[in-house]
Structure 1
Amino acid sequence: MLHFGRWKLLSIFLITLLGVMYTIPNFVPEEDRFTINEVDGTATPKGIWRFIPAGTINLGLDLQGGSHIVFEVDMDEVRDAQLETLASDIRTTLRDAPPVLARSVAVIGDEVVVLLVRPEERDTALERIRELNAPVTTGIGQVGLSNMYDIGADPSDPSAIRISVTSQQYESIRNRTLEQSITVIRRRLDGLGTTDPTIARSGDRRVLVQVPGADDPQEIIDLVGTQAAMSFHMVDENVDPGPNGQARTPPGVTVYPMADTGGTQWLAVETRQRLTGENLNSSNVTTHPSYVGPVVGFRLDTQGALIFGELTRANRGRRFAIVLDNEIITAPTINEPILSGSGVIGGSYTYETANQLVILLNAGALPASLTPVEQRVVTGTLGQDQVESGKLAIMIGFALVIVFMVAMYGVFGLFSTMALLVNVVLILGGLSGLGMTLTLPGIAGIILTIGMAVDANVLIYERIREEVLNNRTPVQALQAGYERALAAILDANITTFIAAAVLYMLGAGPVRGFAVTLGIGIITSVFTAFVVSRLLAVLWLRAFKPKKLPL
């Protein structure tokens, strides 16, 4: 227990050294550690920081400041889409399969109303429609007790059937839409390179987005709020869209404005979607000899590549349009078949606008429109005040712990103080190395850890004191104290670590920040209290060889 071999000493030294290396960057200005590329904004480590860690602890919204935005998901749009899908399925079931049972299927209010060709066939029509019904599937994949649709005959009209979506199905759709929105938003913000944004559900219709360090909420709104629904259409050159896109068009043709023209140029395309964003495998910012400046390269999945290859083979010399959120972003001419499943989207892009489009395409389309209903900027001044207050609280707490330990345990109190200093360094180094975000509750977690860290030393020193009172030799007392206190130390810290793990798994934002610092602090506290302080005590014991321990 009191023997430290070379490998143990080397391990303790290396762990402490790593903690110091990961902690130091937090006290060095960014301009001294990185070279910023003015073109794309990327940061490259310079000097000695190319060989040692250069990352720092990320500050949360409450410390660094940033953007706080609440988006509302357009659930009416989701409801309408669900009803239109239901109407289309019913139309196919009753009109496309002989005999034709329905003369009209339309969405009226919150219902789909079916008018039959012959009232006497209502039972047959009801039987076919009920084949579309199924139990509601919850957000976690479980089958519910309620059905998706309420299907019934209209008592006032023998030739009418009314179908509505059940409240349980709407609840399932709402939950699924919110979860999908959160996933897409996270992908987009991750692509932007933001630091640990907070994205959480807020009520039945809203999503909370907090982005530390982002001082322009509109930039976040433009990125997150864009639906990014992309589709490929063939251009119909025989239809004149008119100067304002208001010309009458035949069935199967839709007019869209050209992007970046302010609505002055329009193009008629086939309404039929040949490909959609679901066939997109990846996209990236690149260059192409046919365009000046950056372009957006894209690659389709296997199915999309086959469709795109056949499309370009059969329509050589024609134009196809790529439509993004009801705007045509490019409409090139097909000069030759494109069989590789890849291509480029050209235009008057800057690096920033091309990169934003790449982020949107890679993240996928939102399941519904988002509307910002609340936005504000959390200023960094308040955050800096909180950081300074947190530093002051840590220093005061540290000083009071030192005074108490030295007063109670003398030279052993100094050992615990030195171990506590190593503990703080390891916590900061751990947060930096893992790229975690420090929030105000996280600072509270560090302060709590400081108090808990010496608790293990108190248990050890009290055990040693009991052994001294039993007339044990210094070596025997020291060894017995550490051995017999170990079980109690592990029990106390393991239970606390479990609580921190539960907070991290179930919490969000600041709660997780507190759990992270507490969890890391528990691990480092056990290490410093049981290993570092013991090493210092053994070195002191070997150097001074006291007849009795000063406890």
Structure 2
Amino acid sequence: MLNQTPIWKYITVIFMLGLCALYALPNLYGEDHAVQISSGRDTAVTLSMVDDVRNSLETANIPFKAVEFADERILVRLPDSDTQLVARENLDKKLGDEYFVAMNLAPDTPDWLENLGGTPMKLGLDLRGGVHFLMEVDMNSAIDSAVGGIVDEFRDRLREEGLRYRTVRKTGNSVEVVFRAPDVLESAQFFLRNNYPDMVIDERDDLTLRASFTEVRLAEIRDYAVKQNITIIRNRVNQLGVAEPLVQKQGAERIVVQLPGIQDTAKAKEILNATATLNFRLVDETGDVRDAVAGRVPAGSELLYTRDGQPILLKSQIMLEGSHIIDAGNSMDENGFPQVNINLDSQGGSRMSQVSRDNVGKPMATVFIEFKATDERDAEGKLIFEKNEEIINVATIQTQLGSSFRITGIDSAGEARDLALLLRAGALIAPIQIVEERTVGPSLGKENIELGMQAITYGLIAVLLFMLVYYQAFGVVANFALLANVIMIAGIMSMIPGATLTLPGMAGIVLTVGMAVDANVLIFERIREELREGRSPQQAIHFGYDNAFSTILDANITTFIAGMILFAVGTGPIKGFSITLMIGIVTSMFTAIIVTRVLVNLIWGGKRVKKLAI
């Protein structure tokens, strides 16, 4: 007989609705005000600190729900925002500057649901509150660093080819190579042009070649600087415990950072502004450190200091930039002493192999470089950065190094761990500065949520009443599918790691509610047409669903394509709207066509029905 559903379809519908309902459930539990303690630059959070934190709060008579340790972080759950502020001040005073103590919001999901992977929907800045930063990358430093790398590379490559030169120097954004004879210059020009197609090599009258990057290569350097900084900023944001931060490129030189739920703007700025990089240099063993301290630094060398204030004379030439490090870990060597194992990318491995081959047995220093913004600005109105350099480790090169090598001569396992963490976090390719800062208070986010939920609720109630009155019993079926659609959207949004609900996203949910009921309206009107043409109720249901399907599919596919385009070219709120729109289209198709068909077949299918309540 017509309109009978096979058992596998019942099982599929029940499974899908049950799964989405399960993962939508965490959204009902809300969030706790929390204080999070994260590792500092030279310190690490350990399990043993949990008791100290708990005792500190109890001594100060500060009530708390729980103190948890996970992912090398301590999370203190508190009953309200006032207690959260007092607890933050207490812990900040106790721990000092060695750890990051930040306020945020933590989901209050039950353990059994968390063990199943259940998490609430990630709310955007406009709903949850938090901070918004617009950061600008210092492209002059990025290009300067790239040119400096080429200077060192030219020296090595020309020496390998036996092409004698007087000097290789950096002048502005170009490299000048001065030769001893015209024939050597000619050979060098041929060699450089063949091996460096992304550089313009020009000959000058005074036995000098000038090499500068092409516009295409300069664009690549700028783009790489932004992408590298985005990666490192994401790593730093993890210290704040933000569930779903937004870190994305805006324009050619800027990065947008949105941290929903963060209530401590000062701490966020402190972490993001810590622009730093690393490099490796050889120690100058021939120069006199005492003369250098007195102001007589040898040519080609530079005087730097360790964290303990010990002066060390280094060669100015950089062996390797820290941006080539892709992984680092600490362990013990064959003698039981701590060491740091480093892995480089292919370009860095080739560079390290060439330089270390001729310097076996010589000491190599790891230099930590930090850029701090001053109050001064250049002619273009951009902040001027002050460069601070510090030697964090000196080790001896034991053998020719490649893509993987180790740093030894480290005093303790703790120092090795901290150095590995620092190297693994990566190095910013160029300094960054915050050019715009906005704070969205929790009260504003709460108001946006309430208004958005009111819009969804009122729209849903209006549609439910209309369907119930106009389509009677079939309206009840459509209403069930409509509610299932909303639950499925919430469940899928909670399951997708990168999905974030924003205020425009709530508008997308309202829109998909209307689209879902629109599909049912098309189906029910076709059933009415079939009944008016004299078909039996079973035939009307069968042909009504079949004939309306192509129209519904065409309309939803075109809308889905529009959503994909919005997601591909849009940013921020546009992406939030497009995500909920596309998810809503898929769920509305499922509920409006499959779920309602299963329910209709369950109620009326395979029976002798004389009249339909539609």
SS in 1 for 2:296: coil
Map 1:386-397; keep pairs closer than 5 Å. 386-397=448-459
> Deviation of residue 477 (structure 1)?
1.3
The 3 A distance-change label for structure 1 pair 469 and 541 is same
Map 1:253-272; keep pairs closer than 5 Å. 253-259=301-307, 261=308, 264-269=309-314
Counterpart-to-counterpart distance in 2, 1:494 and 1:359: 47
> Deviation of residue 439 (structure 1)?
1.1
SS in 2 for 1:459: helix
8 Å CA contact 1:74–1:369 kept in 2: the answer is yes
Identity %: 34
> Deviation of residue 529 (structure 1)?
0.8
- Is 1:229 equivalent to 2:277 in the alignment? yes
> Deviation of residue 320 (structure 1)?
5.7
Q: TM-score, normalised by structure 1?
A: 0.78
From 420, 426, 436, the equivalent of 1:364 is 426
Instruction: Provide the residue aligned with 1:323 in structure 2.
Output: 367
In terms of mean alpha carbon deviation, does 46-55 or 401-410 score higher? 46-55
Map 1:319-468; keep pairs closer than 5 Å. 321-325=365-369, 326-331=389-394, 341=405, 361-435=423-497, 436-468=499-531
8 Å CA contact 2:152–2:317 kept in 1: the answer is no
Counterpart-to-counterpart distance in 2, 1:504 and 1:105: 48
SS in 2 for 1:229: strand
The 3 A distance-change label for structure 1 pair 384 and 480 is same
> Deviation of residue 3 (structure 1)?
1.2
Residues 455-494 of structure 1, C-alpha deviation per residue, up to 9 Å, x if partnerless? Answer: 1100100000011112222222112211211121122212
> Deviation of residue 518 (structure 1)?
1.1
- Is 1:129 equivalent to 2:189 in the alignment? yes
- Is 1:506 equivalent to 2:569 in the alignment? yes
Counterpart-to-counterpart distance in 2, 1:240 and 1:95: 28
> Deviation of residue 72 (structure 1)?
2.0
RMSD: 4.6
**How many residues are paired up?**
521
Counterpart-to-counterpart distance in 1, 2:514 and 2:534: 31
Residues 142-179 of structure 1, C-alpha deviation per residue, up to 9 Å, x if partnerless? Answer: xxxxx73262535xxx6666555454543343334333
The one-letter code of the counterpart of 1:195 is A
Instruction: Provide the residue aligned with 1:8 in structure 2.
Output: 9
8 Å CA contact 1:191–1:359 kept in 2: the answer is no
SS in 2 for 1:373: strand
SS in 2 for 1:37: strand
Residues 369-401 of structure 1, C-alpha deviation per residue, up to 9 Å, x if partnerless? Answer: 222222333322222211111100000110111
- Is 1:530 equivalent to 2:593 in the alignment? yes
SS in 1 for 2:192: coil
SS in 2 for 1:376: strand
Residues 325-365 of structure 1, C-alpha deviation per residue, up to 9 Å, x if partnerless? Answer: 23222447999999995568677979xx978x766533432
8 Å CA contact 1:468–1:549 kept in 2: the answer is no
From 63, 71, 75, the equivalent of 2:135 is 71
Counterpart-to-counterpart distance in 2, 1:98 and 1:257: 36
Counterpart-to-counterpart distance in 1, 2:612 and 2:141: 77
- Is 1:40 equivalent to 2:102 in the alignment? no
From 240, 258, 262, the equivalent of 1:210 is 258
8 Å CA contact 2:109–2:119 kept in 1: the answer is no
The one-letter code of the counterpart of 2:569 is L
SS in 2 for 1:41: strand
> Deviation of residue 296 (structure 1)?
9.6
In terms of mean alpha carbon deviation, does 199-208 or 108-117 score higher? 108-117
> Deviation of residue 281 (structure 1)?
5.1
Q: TM-score, normalised by structure 2?
A: 0.71
8 Å CA contact 1:243–1:265 kept in 2: the answer is no
8 Å CA contact 1:216–1:377 kept in 2: the answer is no
Counterpart-to-counterpart distance in 2, 1:269 and 1:281: 25
SS in 2 for 1:4: coil
The 3 A distance-change label for structure 1 pair 117 and 296 is closer
Counterpart-to-counterpart distance in 2, 1:79 and 1:276: 14
Counterpart-to-counterpart distance in 2, 1:205 and 1:507: 18
The 3 A distance-change label for structure 1 pair 445 and 85 is same
Instruction: Provide the residue aligned with 1:17 in structure 2.
Output: 18
The one-letter code of the counterpart of 2:10 is L
The 3 A distance-change label for structure 1 pair 358 and 437 is farther
8 Å CA contact 1:93–1:129 kept in 2: the answer is no
The 3 A distance-change label for structure 1 pair 14 and 285 is farther
The 3 A distance-change label for structure 1 pair 354 and 391 is farther
Instruction: Provide the residue aligned with 1:282 in structure 2.
Output: 327
> Deviation of residue 528 (structure 1)?
0.8
Compare the two structures and name the one with the higher strand fraction. Answer: 2
Counterpart-to-counterpart distance in 1, 2:325 and 2:219: 30
The 3 A distance-change label for structure 1 pair 545 and 359 is farther
SS in 2 for 1:481: helix
- Is 1:478 equivalent to 2:478 in the alignment? no
> Deviation of residue 522 (structure 1)?
1.0
